[in-house]
């Protein structure tokens, strides 16, 4: 293998293919390979067995498996072109060689012939005679479809197996049910909502952008949050709404809760008149607080205080016995180490937590099991309705005398509607306690080694949104060469934003950084130039939540020789978070 090359890993469909296994130097290896081949739906022929006892053992082991054949003939090159399917002129479709190391000349001969015939070949322990290598794979025994494959590319199969085990052990115990449930919901939704449009180019294009299909490595993830006008959706957008919501649930909600998501929790149901009828939803049902219907109307956020005043008689009675309280809590950018002690205390003592969908799973995992949790359904085309839903649920909880925590990503007052929520609950007699959080707008620059301000580089910082009210572009600020500008909620429409910035006179050569999942283990920092941002986003996809930082500070601490951006190298990527990701003390003091 050439230095710095990366093998192409694929999920291969081998149904009904004819695979050839040569040799039984390691009988266990031949047995396991034959078993795997049959499980994949292919046929296995074993030839060139080392001794008669191996042939007898294989026949006994696979006596009830018609897809496995054992030939006692010595291997001949003509087996490559005579033991395959008639459909492919009897050429076998994959070869596994398992010979003793002193048979290197035969290995080489088989390899050279396979290369000429374009037959993929794997020779055990001899990468120079292989065009592919089987890798350590976990296959979900519950047949959910989940497979996890790990390779160290020759650095050690023991290490690959250990990494695989640790990845599998870190998954939720109900991961099989989660995968099965997501697949069943996906199939039902596409059939019910999109069947009449399934053959159209645009629908298939939309489904691919939402992460459906077999190309799991290259879907247009940056379009997952593309703008959908909430109150003026086309018929096709309405039909795709539940599909879009399911994609968002897969992307943002905790893995452990995906097994319990139901069809009724995904989007609104449209009547023939076009009116919207919605039902409340929750990922962890609680008998103490049944979901309530949500009043809907265009411009719901403007009328939110009026739309949420109705409460049950039981709630009024509960309020007389106990006064509810509410806090607006910032959870920081993602790392638990950046969660304030005040925020942690509120999380541990809440009765009801209303969380943003962007609050990372590591923070949600701190919530006691006894606490009711509702995650905002702020998916494309539903931002205003989802906000109204949260206000309704929060007010209902307060009127029942509960301690309500509105858990927000970053800081409540930095593009988090914290001010609007403060006014809403205050108008209803519940003045919120507001606990600040570390805003991703500034923590992201720190973890990305970007000094937001630095003498002779940047003397001011501007925090902007890339998406205004109802999806409109915000007012474009003027370009200031000594300013660091942070754009939140901008990556999904970077093409529109950058075009507007350049039209406003921004320097196309100014450095820019795309920072995603700041402070999380899968943090990604991509450095580029402003003019390249849309092209880069389109190529690398999206790993939400993310933001865009523009200004000379982006490269102030970076070795220019390492950056060296040009038309041939338009971006540089840095993977992973180097700082602390956990809290270095016992959380039990805060309760369970």
List pLDDT tens digits, range 438-449: 999 999 999 999
Parse the chain into domains and list their residue ranges: 18-134, 172-277, 297-438, 441-575
Instruction: Reply yes or no on whether the pLDDT at 589 is more than 70.
Output: no
How does residue 234 score in pLDDT terms, banded at 50, 70 and 90? low
Instruction: Reply yes or no on whether the pLDDT at 288 is more than 50.
Output: no
pLDDT at 233: 63
Q: Is residue 408 within 8 Å of residue 331, measured between CB atoms?
A: yes
* CATH code assigned to 441-575: 3.30.950.10
pLDDT at 308: 43
pLDDT at 476: 93
Nearest to 547 by CA among 485, 500, 487: 487
Distance CA 282, CA 371 (A): 13
Instruction: Reply yes or no on whether the pLDDT at 276 is more than 90.
Output: no
How does residue 204 score in pLDDT terms, banded at 50, 70 and 90? low
CA distances from 208 to 148, 211, 543, 555 (A): 22, 5, 17, 35
Distance CA 95, CA 427 (A): 73
What is the DSSP pairing of strand 524-529 with strand 511-516? antiparallel
> Going by CATH, does the domain composed of 18-134 fall within 3.10.129.10?
no
Instruction: Reply yes or no on whether the pLDDT at 170 is more than 70.
Output: yes
Q: What is the pLDDT of residues 70-109, one digit of tens each?
A: 998 999 999 999 999 999 999 999 999 999 999 999 999 9
Max CA distance (Å), the chain:
89
Q: Which residues contact 372 (CB under 8 A, 6 or more apart)?
A: 282, 284, 286, 288, 289, 351, 352, 353
Instruction: Reply yes or no on whether the pLDDT at 528 is more than 60.
Output: yes
* CATH code assigned to 297-438: 3.40.1010.10
Instruction: Reply yes or no on whether the pLDDT at 462 is more than 80.
Output: yes
Question: Of residues 241, 378, 403, 408, which has the active-site annotation?
Answer: 378
Q: Is residue 227 within 8 Å of residue 496, measured between CB atoms?
A: no
Q: What is the mean pLDDT of the chain?
A: 83
Mean pLDDT of 461-474: 83
Question: Of residues 356, 357, 393, 403, which has the active-site annotation?
Answer: 356
pLDDT at 270: 36
Mean pLDDT of 169-183: 92
Catalytic residue list contains 378: yes
Mean pLDDT of 434-460: 95
Instruction: Reply yes or no on whether the pLDDT at 227 is more than 90.
Output: no
CA atoms within 13 A on the CB side of 583: 16
pLDDT at 321: 55
């Amino acid at each position: 293998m050439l230095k710095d090359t990366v093998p192409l890993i694929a999920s291969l469909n081998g149904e009904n293919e004819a695979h050839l296994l040569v040799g039984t130097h390691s009988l266990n290896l031949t047995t396991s390979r034959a078993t795997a081949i049959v499980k994949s739906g292919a046929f296995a022929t074993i030839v060139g067995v080392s001794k008669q006892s191996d042939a007898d053992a294989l026949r006994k082991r696979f006596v009830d498996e018609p897809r496995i054949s054992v030939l006692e003939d010595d291997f001949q090159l003509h087996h490559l072109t005579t033991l395959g399917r008639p459909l492919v002129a009897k050429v076998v479709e994959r070869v596994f060689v398992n010979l003793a190391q002193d048979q290197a000349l035969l290995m080489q001969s088989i390899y050279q012939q396979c290369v000429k015939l374009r037959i993929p070949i794997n020779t055990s322990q001899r990468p120079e005679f292989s065009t592919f290598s089987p890798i350590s794979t976990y296959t979900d025994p519950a047949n959910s479809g989940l497979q996890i494959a790990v390779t160290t590319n020759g650095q050690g199969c023991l290490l690959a197996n250990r990494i695989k085990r640790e990845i599998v052990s870190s998954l939720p115990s109900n991961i099989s049910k989660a995968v099965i449930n997501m697949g069943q919901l996906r199939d039902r939704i596409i059939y019910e909502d999109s069947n009449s449009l399934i053959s159209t180019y645009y629908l298939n294009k939309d489904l691919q952008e939402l992460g459906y299909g077999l190309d799991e490595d290259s879907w247009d993830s940056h379009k997952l949050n593309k703008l959908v006008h909430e109150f003026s959706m086309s018929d096709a957008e309405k039909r795709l709404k539940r599909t879009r919501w399911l994609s968002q649930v897969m992307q943002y909600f905790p893995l452990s809760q995906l097994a319990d998501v139901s069809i009724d929790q995904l989007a609104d149901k449209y009547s023939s008149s076009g009116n919207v009828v919605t039902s409340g939803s929750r990922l962890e049902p609680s008998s103490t607080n049944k979901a309530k219907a949500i009043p809907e109307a265009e411009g719901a956020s403007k009328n939110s205080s009026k739309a949420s005043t109705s409460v049950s008689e039981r709630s009024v009675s509960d309020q007389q016995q106990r006064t509810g309280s509410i806090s607006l809590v910032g959870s920081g950018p993602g790392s638990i180490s950046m969660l304030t002690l005040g925020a942690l205390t509120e999380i541990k003592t809440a009765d009801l937590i209303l969380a943003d969908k962007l609050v990372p799973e590591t923070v949600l995992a701190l919530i006691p099991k006894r606490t009711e949790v509702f995650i905002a359904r702020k998916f494309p085309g539903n931002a205003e309705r989802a906000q109204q839903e949260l206000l309704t649920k929060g007010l209902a909880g307060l009127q029942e005398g509960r301690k309500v925590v509105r858990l927000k990503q970053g800081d409540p007052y930095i593009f988090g509607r914290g001010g609007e929520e403060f006014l809403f609950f205050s108008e209803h007699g519940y003045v919120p306690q507001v606990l600040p959080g570390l805003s991703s707008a500034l923590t992201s620059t720190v973890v990305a080694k970007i000094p937001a301000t630095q003498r002779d580089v940047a003397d001011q910082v501007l925090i902007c949104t890339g998406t205004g009210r109802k999806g409109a572009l915000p007012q474009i600020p003027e370009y200031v060469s000594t300013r660091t500008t942070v754009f939140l909620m901008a990556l999904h429409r970077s093409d529109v934003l950058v075009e507007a910035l350049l039209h406003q006179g921004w320097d196309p050569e100014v450095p820019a950084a795309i920072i995603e999942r700041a402070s999380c283990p899968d943090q990604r920092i991509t450095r580029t130039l402003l003019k390249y941002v849309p092209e880069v986003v389109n190529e690398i996809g999206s790993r939400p939540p993310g933001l865009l930082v523009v200004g000379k500070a982006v490269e102030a601490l970076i070795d220019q020789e390492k950056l060296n951006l040009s038309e041939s190298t338009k971006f540089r990527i840095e993977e992973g978070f180097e700082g602390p990701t956990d809290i270095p003390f016992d959380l039990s003091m805060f309760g369970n």
